[in-house]
């Protein structure tokens, strides 16, 4: 059920109304049940790097970070999760997220990639989000490598609108995974070739 909750968080829906979604093996690994989260005073930190062409509204990040931390909901004094993103220009807090819900970092990464692609192509974020969701739940491949595995997806490779995507038809989403119950070690979104040269990379420290 947590895979459905993670998807619901990403789509901005209520977890109470989410329906379970069947995924392939690669999608199952990415949306593994990592909750309930218990940080016990130990924040989790990912480095963040985003690059792409100079387009109004697009924010490249040279040396940023995303921190997953535990906080207290002032309304009911219950523990919740919160993300703190630091970039070259600003610091912002994102959340709260439920302790027992899906993976907030995965949710953040997918939404960041969706919004960046929409800004750089002028495309609909709703269309982009749905195509990525379909790829994660229905496609992809996973390859074991020593003590980890690598799941990868190409959500727009066969898209009927690929010719109008300005190079994003080559977008590959890659997730480096260890123990299924542990946080995702690395999350990458990359296009191939010089155009548009988009990279969104987060690595667990």
Beta-bridged to residue 6, according to DSSP, are none
**Residues whose CB falls within 8 Å of the CB of residue 97, separated by 6 or more in sequence, listed in order:** 9, 80, 81, 82, 83, 104, 107
* Neighbour count for residue 147 (Cβ, 10 Å): 7
DSSP letter, residue 89: S
* Distance from the first to the final alpha carbon of the chain: 28
Structural domain harbouring 58:
2-204
Question: Is residue 76 very low, low, confident or very high in pLDDT (cuts 50, 70, 90)?
Answer: confident
Report the C-alpha gap between 167 and 122 in whole angstroms.
13
Structural domain count, the chain: 1
List pLDDT tens digits, range 158-175.
999 988 899 999 999 999
Confidence band of 110 (pLDDT split at 50, 70, 90): very high
Of 10-14, 16-20, 73-77, which range is least confident?
A: 16-20
- The whole-angstrom separation of Cα 82 and Cα 11 is 18
Q: What pLDDT is stored for residue 38 in this prediction? A: 79
Task: Tell me: cis bond preceding 96? Omega within 30 of 0 counts.
Answer: yes
Could you tell me how far CA 170 lies from the centroid of its own chain? 18
pLDDT tens per residue, range 115-159: 999 999 999 999 999 999 999 998 899 999 889 999 999 999 999
Task: Name the pTM for this structure.
Answer: 0.87
Q: What is the mean pLDDT of the chain?
A: 86
Report which listed range, 22-26, 87-91, 98-102, 171-175, is most confident.
171-175
Q: What gap in Å lies between CA 8 and CA 46, rounded to an integer?
A: 23
Q: What is the pLDDT of residue 6?
A: 46
């Amino acid at each position: 059920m947590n895979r459905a909750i993670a998807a619901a968080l990403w789509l901005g829906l209520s977890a109470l109304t989410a329906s379970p979604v069947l995924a392939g093996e690669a999608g199952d690994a990415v949306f593994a049940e990592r909750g309930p989260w218990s940080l016990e005073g130990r924040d989790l930190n990912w480095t963040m790097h985003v690059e792409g062409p100079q387009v109004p509204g697009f924010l490249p990040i040279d040396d940023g970070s995303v921190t997953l931390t535990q906080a207290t909901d002032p309304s009911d004094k219950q523990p919740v999760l919160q993300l703190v993103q630091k970039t070259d220009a600003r610091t912002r807090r994102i959340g709260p997220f439920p302790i027992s819900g899906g993976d907030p970092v995965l949710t953040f990464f997918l939404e960041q990639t969706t919004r960046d692609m929409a800004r750089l192509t002028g495309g609909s974020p709703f269309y982009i989000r749905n195509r990525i969701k379909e790829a994660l739940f229905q496609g992809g491949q996973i390859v074991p490598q020593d003590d980890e595995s690598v799941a990868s997806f190409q959500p727009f490779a066969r898209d009927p609108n690929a010719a109008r995507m300005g190079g994003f038809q080559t977008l590959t989403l890659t997730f480096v995974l260890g123990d299924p119950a542990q946080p995702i070690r690395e999350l990458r979104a990359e296009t191939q070739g010089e155009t548009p040269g988009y990279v969104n990379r987060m690595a667990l420290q």
